A and B are shown apart, each in its own frame.
Chain A
Amino acid sequence: MTERVTPLLRVNDLRVGFDLPEGRLVAVDGVSFQVRRGATVALVGESGSGKSVVSQAIMGLLPRPARVLGGSILFADPNKPGTITDIVRLAPDGRAMRELRGGRISIIFQEPMTSLSPLHTVGDQITEALRLHRSVSAAEARELTRDMLRLVGFPDPDRALRTYPFELSGGLRQRAMISMALVCRPALLIADEPTTALDVTIQAQILKLMRDLQSELHMAVLMITHDLGVVANMAEEVVVMYRGRVMESGDVEDIFRRPEHPYLRALMAAVPRFDMGPGERLRPLREIKAETGHLMAGAEDRRPAAPQDRPILSVQGVSKTYTIRKAGMFGKQARTMMALDDVSFEVRRGECLGLVGESGCGKTTLSKVIMRAIGPDAGRVSFADDDGEIDVLGLQGEALTAFRRKLQFVFQDPFGSLNPRMTVFDIIAEPLAIHGIGNEAWRREMVSELMKLVGLDARHLRRYPHSFSGGQRQRIGIARALALRPSMLICDEPVSALDVSIQAQVLNLLKDLKAQLGLTYLFISHNLAVVDYIADRIAVMCAGRLVELAPREELFRNPVHPYTRALLAAVPDPSLDHPLDFARIMDERASHPADWPAPFTIDESHSPTFVDLGGEHFVRADPHILTLRLAS
């Protein structure tokens, strides 16, 4: 009962403002919530909602222009019963605050790549945290650190002490970060988007680890995230923030089953889920309408209802090997890495083929081969539209330029893919200028039509990219890709950098454009729910090979390959009805082809081929054993 009276952390009417040259910006405006001992509270919101500022205020790590304008952050340390500290009143770099920070309240960050210093060993950085808060000898500190590293699942803690962060994979780096945060046994752990930068399977492992450690160390977790799937699986209580204010808060049942605030409801409706009915659309906070004008409408006429049986893009046996040359101090070593191994598939006209896989599986290499940005070692790529079939890899000079008009690309990063020194007009008109299409007046009309097509105001053509938001920039990128009226688009993770509601907006736009302009998509993503929403057929890729290819419903209903199953099992669904089965979360072996069970194993002695299971369902397996298995 006492716990209900004095929660571990109580944030009361917190207001934080940024003093900027253009005036004061109130980023957090009257936020109140509390975290009980040992509980998990999720702080949910999109970028710019102020959720990270709240965490910085709790840690006393607000950036320079930010100031706490009012309110209090009361922390009741369970190690000192009866005392309550107001963090707002402590000097941010004073001794009292420094003892809390890292000792009683710890934080882990989104980007495990950059949140550890590359120049110091993992052991050095973790023991440093320990020795700051506890008076232990160097030997004892090493011993405790070793225990902690074992606890977070490092296979060889002794070696891990001596490794540098850049020698570790993303998942292990995040584990190192977690062990650094927990080595002093804090009462509260703030996890700021702890799994956003990780692959789904790794994300599931890290979430499981956090759950296990939480119960073992009896600490509370304040989880900051935009991913409702993670929230549904981890949190007991949820606080939803929007533009610096709390929109709704309550326990997880209330939030997911009976959302009340319109913002929360809109957010829920914008997340792609696996159990969506056929034809059901996501509802973004603000829907955009794609309008076709007369210039783009010409594109529709240009393409008569095409024969569905002939694939528009056909990739056969494409392989690509990279040689990694290691020219360090210890002499040269060359190592080859199979980026693509005998990849074959077809994309039919008017469909959307989803390509799913973890980072480093070869998705992007494949798209580069198709775009002729890099050449493969072996294989064939052919492209067929009304003008006949083209051998893509054999194209030279003029013919290659002509081919570029047919196949265009939408990039992942809406910030890096637009030149900040060009106006939007110049950006969208550039493909037209390069290919010498139309005169000045025609281009002007075409570009403003393209702007309308992606739901942007044509009056903003003379602005520069920096004055647009991420979602708007991505739409500019789509408009640029459409300028040449291609028949096919390759979209490489087009929504992975966007917020949930914006993501829904862009996905819907892509869907509408596909219908209106008769486009074909190759849609590359690591997010299965997104692919499920937009794709007709899905190809799953792992370690440079296609392992399974099936129509959308078939793949989700009846996944055959162990890797596909592992991938599906690891996706956190944003509903309480399908919780992640943490007991079944596999270790990192699921993405090692040599460790797959019998008919699927790929190593020196086994090289299974693509087997047709009927109903357009293909899987990479040894055909003999598989038929035996299926028969029995």
Chain B
Amino acid sequence: MFDYLVRRLLVMIPTLVAISIITFIIIQLPPGDYLSTLIAEMESQGENVDLAKIAALRAQYGLDQPMWQQYLLWAGGLLRGDFGYSFEYQLPVADVVGDRVLLTCVLNFGTILFIYLVSFPIGIYSATHQYSWGDYGLTLVGFIGLATPNFLLALVLLYFANVWFGTSIGGLMDPSYIDQPWTWGKVVSVLEHLWVPVVVIGTSGTAAMIRRLRANLLDELQKQYVITARAKGLPPLRALLKYPLRMALNPFIADIGNMLPQVVSGSAVVAMVLSLPTTGPMLIGALQSQDMYLAGSFLMFLAVLTVVGMLLSDMALAWLDPRIRLGGGTAR
């Protein structure tokens, strides 16, 4: 077990190095850099550009060096915990991202919780009452949820909240709390605002999860061991929860690896529509303006989360499923 863990952790190192190189190359692929974008923007607004100042800035940030030197500079900084400097915000990356990461995590953990809480009972109901009116009805709702684009739902909610309640539900807190230190009132305000993006982002996820859970569970319900469990005299609900549901869970645990980075990057489009102070819109902005350290560090962070998430889900699967833990050589 310990050997396995060490080996997995060692394998992560070359993986992350490779990802960091690819990330950096992709960020640098568009012609120019942050400063040339800045110049173009200033010129289009009719401002004069002080070429000497630009050259000084370029030297200061190391943008005049060859690409591999820039990469080493950045990667070396990452190793020391220095995520670089954001040109656009004129702040260290860590400070720019700070609060937003926390809010994004809160928002997306809320969303995942919402998805699980809603979809599990519905999925189980749909599977155990296959082809009933309830199943058809919930399936229809699910498909509508799946087919509606998130941002559209966000716009619709924004509109009706304004028309019916006369309130603006954009953002994640009351405007008066923005950039204020955390207080109890601010927490309450966040919670009050949270439900709208949670519902908006969670709808399609819930619908997809219901469909998958229903399909998985339907497969499992036909297996012989379910009949065995009932033949023992187990009450139906306990038989359902202990055997087929447990078996149907594997794909969801395997999904944790994908979910962790999503929790942080969030759903950028909805965040823009609802003007949420999360990290999604910021990443898009950074990529547009070629704010390369901000974008690169952010992407690296997501990569680390993906790799760690995969490790976690593998460990969880092995812990939950003895066939994975003990399998392999014991197959007759």
A residues touching B (Cβ–Cβ < 8 Å)?
Answer: 59, 61, 93, 98-103, 106-107, 109, 111, 114-121, 128-129, 132-133, 164, 166-167, 169, 177, 180, 324-331, 333, 335, 360
Contact residue among A99, A119, A169, A326 (Cβ-Cβ distance under 8 Å from B233): A99
The prevalent SS among residues of A at the interface is mixed
Please name all residues of chain A whose beta carbon is closer than 8 Å to the beta carbon of B224 when the two chains form the complex.
109, 111, 114-115
A106 and B246 alpha carbons, distance in the complex (Å): 24
Please name all residues of chain B whose beta carbon is closer than 8 Å to the beta carbon of A128 when the two chains form the complex.
232, 234
Q: How far is the CB of B1 from chain A (nearest CB, A)?
A: 5
Besides A98-B235, A116-B225, A119-B246, 20 more A-B contacts (Cβ < 8 Å) are: A61-B231, A93-B236, A98-B234, A100-B233, A101-B231, A109-B224, A109-B228, A114-B225, A115-B228, A117-B225, A118-B323, A119-B323, A128-B234, A129-B232, A132-B234, A324-B331, A326-B328, A328-B325, A329-B1, A329-B325
- 0/1 string, B319-331, CB within 8 A of A gives 1: 0111101111111
Is B287 an interface position by the 8 A CB rule? Answer: no
Is B247 an interface position by the 8 A CB rule? Answer: yes
Q: How far is the CB of A188 from chain B (nearest CB, A)?
A: 12
Judge whether B231 and A166 touch: CB under 8 Å.
no
Q: Give 14 A-B contacts (CB < 8 Å), ordered by A residue.
A: A61-B227, A61-B231, A98-B233, A117-B228, A119-B323, A120-B243, A132-B232, A167-B326, A177-B228, A325-B328, A330-B1, A330-B3, A330-B4, A331-B4
Please name all residues of chain A whose beta carbon is closer than 8 Å to the beta carbon of B320 when the two chains form the complex.
119
Please name all residues of chain A whose beta carbon is closer than 8 Å to the beta carbon of B322 when the two chains form the complex.
118-119, 121, 164, 166
Contact residue among A93, A102, A109, A118 (Cβ-Cβ distance under 8 Å from B232): A102
Q: CB-nearest residue of chain B relative to A133?
A: B233
A101 and B242 alpha carbons, distance in the complex (Å): 18
Judge whether B326 and A117 touch: CB under 8 Å.
no
Top-8 shortest CB links A-B: A326-B329, A102-B233, A102-B232, A114-B224, A326-B328, A129-B232, A115-B224, A98-B233
Interface residues on B, range: 20 to 34
A327 and B7 alpha carbons, distance in the complex (Å): 12
A114 and B223 alpha carbons, distance in the complex (Å): 7
Q: How far is the CB of B46 from chain A (nearest CB, A)?
A: 65
Contact residue among A109, A325, A328 (Cβ-Cβ distance under 8 Å from B326): A328
Contact residue among B227, B228, B236, B321 (Cβ-Cβ distance under 8 Å from A119): B321
A106 and B227 alpha carbons, distance in the complex (Å): 12
Q: CB-nearest residue of chain B relative to A334?
A: B329
Known: A115-B225, A328-B329. A61 touches B230 (CB 8 A): yes
Please name all residues of chain B whose beta carbon is closer than 8 Å to the beta carbon of A169 when the two chains form the complex.
332
Q: How far is the CB of A196 from chain B (nearest CB, A)?
A: 13
Please name all residues of chain A whose beta carbon is closer than 8 Å to the beta carbon of B247 when the two chains form the complex.
117-119
Q: How far is the CB of B314 from chain A (nearest CB, A)?
A: 9
A333 and B325 alpha carbons, distance in the complex (Å): 14
Please name all residues of chain B whose beta carbon is closer than 8 Å to the beta carbon of A93 when the two chains form the complex.
235-236
Most chain A Cβ neighbours within 10 Å, of B227, B232, B331, B332: B232
Judge whether B231 and A102 touch: CB under 8 Å.
yes
Is B229 an interface position by the 8 A CB rule? Answer: yes
Judge whether A360 and B233 touch: CB under 8 Å.
no
